[in-house]
Structure 1
Amino acid sequence: MRCNTYNLEELVNIKYGKNQKKIFSKTGTVPIYGTGGLIGYGTQYLYNKPSILIGRKGSIEKIRYVEHPFWTVDTLFYTEINTNLVIPLYLYYKILLIDLSKYNEGTTIPSLRTETLNKLQFEIPNIEDQLKIVSIIRPIDLKIENNQQINHNLEEQIKTLCNAWLSEFIPFKGSIPSDWSQIKLSDIADFIGGYSYTSSELTDSNIAMATIKNFERNGGFKLDGYKEIIPSSRIKPIHYIELFDLLVAHTDLTQNAEVIGNAEPVMSKSAYTDIIFSMDLVKVCPKKEISKFLIAALLQTKKFKAHCLGYVNGTTVLHLNKKALSEYTLMFPQNIGILKPLDDILTGLYMQIAQNIAEISTLTALRDTLLPKLMSGEIDVSAVEIGR
């Protein structure tokens, strides 16, 4: 596969994002992106053509490809791409293979400069070969995105069901049954603090540790947040977690408390033999006959998040008071069995989410194996026919 060498500045024009405050709106339809991902919606777009978004400060190692109108904040670059030389999606895949963290020029906060990015060199084949490579990789990404959308819909179903049962009491003709009463979360669950580790324990291993890095700012559990670790003899059995165990973030480095108080079930071990959880997290263990899925659904609500925010202290690093979980109150039946129909449905929905996540992991591994081989020419694409 014959290629020409270009500096990035020949392929794109790197543009700075802008402050989003003037265009931010709860009823907006234009996605607003920060270095951590989607942060809200606005009423105007900054750019409306295919673009690669690159972190200027913060999460500089993660890039994003968008084809819809969007806005980026001032810590995120966007790109105007020279489509005469390169297909936007092809260039995105090309940049994916680069470890941008190697070009960090920040001290306390990881940072990238346009001058440095512009000098990055890329071997670019002709447009036809670019199209062939994209035609192989893109369907895998689309399947991943489809599964992610299905999971989002399933999560919305969980929220709707729980609201109907536990807030609007629709199965009980809209009224709170007489045998329901307000209880504390500590009545139906125990809480276990995480493992206090040292940096020397972080090393290549088949054991991973869940941390606040696993928590998406807008909800969700990221598998790439796991840290490989060989824990010391101080580790206890209670610090290990099983599939579907529920974790709550007790620490937060974000300015707007976007992570603290978020509750996320562990939906995948990501091929690790064991998972432990760090001191930044607390494991919520259901008592009695209550399932992990019901507890998860009870805590993945705006009400629980708002409650936790009232127990936050700290400035640079936010901490959740230990009393936050035990003092959370909710309406609950004396006879837990009455919630079994809800529990059965929730179990099915969460299990489907887990299956989709497993498929996403498999597809991601396939894409990550194929991509460098396609880009280097190790896999010959000359015989690939592009669908019309």
Structure 2
Amino acid sequence: MKFDYRPLSDFTEVKGGKRLPKGSNLITTPNSHPYIRVRNLGTDKVLELTPDYEYVDDETQATISRYIVNADDVIISIVGTIGLVAKVGKTLDRANLTENCAKMVNIHGIDRDFLYYYLLSEDGQNAIKAATVGAVQAKLPLKNIQALPIPNISLDEQAAIADTLSALDNKIAVNKKINHHLEQIAQAIFKSWFVDFEPFGGMMPDDWREVPLGKVVEISTKTLNPQSCPDTILEHYSIPAFDETRLPVFEAASGIKSNKYIVDKDCFLISKLNPTTKRIWRPYCISSHAVCSTEFIVYQAKNPAYKDFYYSVIDSPAFTDFLLSHVTGSTGSRQRAVPSETLSFTISVPPDCIIADFCDKVASIYAYFEQNYLEIRRLRQIRDALLPRLMSGELSVADLSR
């Protein structure tokens, strides 16, 4: 089945965001004026307020208050990475919107979720690409957004398509929420045992040792030149992959131009690039060809059986503070931690029996965490396979039940 099309302007108004006034800057102190930027799009279907957001102060807010978004608006990036799409969640109702995005408001005659998925589909992204102008600074003009062709199908069919895809995204969201709680549980156990010493009467026992991190872990710099194996499909743990999905990207080595670190299941990674954004990763090693960006520090416990303990050390707020105090580069987008200096971080090491007991308690947490992310990967694959076929009319929802 092939669709007829109508312009997007038949279903919604398209309005722009607002640039901050000259001399105004975003603030990190939370208030009631969060500011949505392009970097907040591209990960989740529904945007919700997270600690990554910055804010507009009260004085600036008074000058840009006409450019807020409302819950359930659909927004799209129009500069930079063009064509990222999201729905506004309840926690960002009345948030401010960057001038690098546009919002679709007063949506009528079309299912909002269907609109979201269509704009993400291959057909939708091709239409967005065709509507983008500018050779030097590409931009998606508002009038071109209004003219985007939208499939003219019944609301019932739109809802059926949207419900099918939403069921997959909802399960992905549930798994992410569970994993967030699992991380908090593991961190709380570590804090209770090794920061507050609660099982030990609130004091560090006398038979514990304080040693530099380098005594118990080492940094691996085993390197692979992808051009030496161009036909190999690499399981690539990159900074963008972490930020977008926290899942590795599988890609041909021939398309990767720079050297990578080789990783395995005994490794754990933390980003040395811009450590103000915490990126800590336990590689899943789905394949036998796992590599990571050289912007990660690759740690390995000298005793692999204690990996979970030393991973928890690296995941602790104290280590994050240490990392941030040992960076090079000016304030901005290119600060880096110095890997060798992280090995001087002082940690409290209990007797082996206590480390083993802790690892036993958290092993199931981390196993469940990994299982959830591998299920997220499978759900994303199903969704991404269905999306273009449903949106092009090649496949109908009825076909899925046959």
Equivalent position to 2:391, from 366, 375, 382: 375
Counterpart in the other structure of 2:184: 156
Equivalent position to 2:346, from 329, 340, 343: 329
Read off the aligned partner of 2:37 and give its amino acid letter: G
Counterparts of 1:329 and 1:287, CA distance in 2: 16
Counterparts of 1:17 and 1:226, CA distance in 2: 37
Counterparts of 2:322 and 2:129, CA distance in 1: 40
- 1:32 Cα deviation from its structure 2 partner: 4.8
Read off the aligned partner of 2:299 and give its amino acid letter: V
- C-alpha contact (below 8 Å) 2:33/2:96 kept by paired residues: no
- For the aligned residue pairs, the C-alpha RMSD in angstroms reads 3.6
Counterpart in the other structure of 1:15: 16
- C-alpha contact (below 8 Å) 1:182/1:330 kept by paired residues: yes
Counterparts of 1:242 and 1:277, CA distance in 2: 10
Q: SS of the residue aligned with 2:116? A: helix
Counterparts of 1:204 and 1:116, CA distance in 2: 41
Structure with higher strand content = 1
Deviates more, 1:290-299 or 1:8-17: 8-17
Counterpart in the other structure of 1:51: 73
Residue deviations 1:172-193, cap 9 Å, x none?
0111100123211101000023
Counterpart in the other structure of 1:207: 234
- C-alpha contact (below 8 Å) 2:217/2:299 kept by paired residues: yes
- C-alpha contact (below 8 Å) 1:251/1:317 kept by paired residues: yes
Read off the aligned partner of 2:162 and give its amino acid letter: V
State TM-score, norm by structure 2: 0.78
Residue deviations 1:74-111, cap 9 Å, x none?
25524233432211111000011144784666778875
- C-alpha contact (below 8 Å) 2:38/2:77 kept by paired residues: yes
Counterparts of 1:231 and 1:336, CA distance in 2: 45
Equivalent position to 1:359, from 363, 366, 375: 375
- C-alpha contact (below 8 Å) 1:194/1:278 kept by paired residues: no
Residue deviations 1:313-365, cap 9 Å, x none?
124522222333211112222x2221222111221101001111111111111
Counterparts of 1:35 and 1:183, CA distance in 2: 43
Q: Flag the 1:83–1:278 CA change in 2: closer, same or farther, 3 A.
A: closer
Q: Flag the 1:111–1:182 CA change in 2: closer, same or farther, 3 A.
A: farther
Counterparts of 2:180 and 2:219, CA distance in 1: 28
Counterparts of 1:210 and 1:109, CA distance in 2: 30
Equivalent position to 2:158, from 123, 130, 140: 130
* Paired residues, number: 369
- C-alpha contact (below 8 Å) 1:132/1:381 kept by paired residues: yes
Counterparts of 1:304 and 1:31, CA distance in 2: 28
- C-alpha contact (below 8 Å) 1:214/1:225 kept by paired residues: yes
- C-alpha contact (below 8 Å) 1:3/1:123 kept by paired residues: yes
- C-alpha contact (below 8 Å) 1:248/1:283 kept by paired residues: yes
- 1:66 Cα deviation from its structure 2 partner: 2.8
- 1:122 Cα deviation from its structure 2 partner: 2.1
Q: Flag the 1:225–1:308 CA change in 2: closer, same or farther, 3 A.
A: farther
Which ranges in structure 2 are unaligned for 5 or more consecutive residues?
A: 41-49
Equivalent position to 1:36, from 31, 36, 39: 39
Counterparts of 1:110 and 1:332, CA distance in 2: 54
Q: Flag the 1:207–1:225 CA change in 2: closer, same or farther, 3 A.
A: closer
Which ranges in structure 1 are unaligned for 5 or more consecutive residues?
A: none
Structure with higher helix content = 2
Q: SS of the residue aligned with 1:291? A: helix
Residue identity (%): 20
Counterpart in the other structure of 2:253: 229
State TM-score, norm by structure 1: 0.81
- C-alpha contact (below 8 Å) 2:69/2:88 kept by paired residues: no
Read off the aligned partner of 1:48 and give its amino acid letter: N
Read off the aligned partner of 1:8 and give its amino acid letter: L
Read off the aligned partner of 2:180 and give its amino acid letter: H
Counterpart in the other structure of 1:92: 116
- C-alpha contact (below 8 Å) 2:69/2:97 kept by paired residues: no
- 1:197 Cα deviation from its structure 2 partner: 5.1
Read off the aligned partner of 1:323 and give its amino acid letter: S
Counterparts of 1:9 and 1:205, CA distance in 2: 46
Residue deviations 1:175-224, cap 9 Å, x none?
110012321110100002364758x78977521332222333xxx97225
Q: Flag the 1:3–1:82 CA change in 2: closer, same or farther, 3 A.
A: farther
Equivalent position to 1:187, from 202, 211, 215: 215
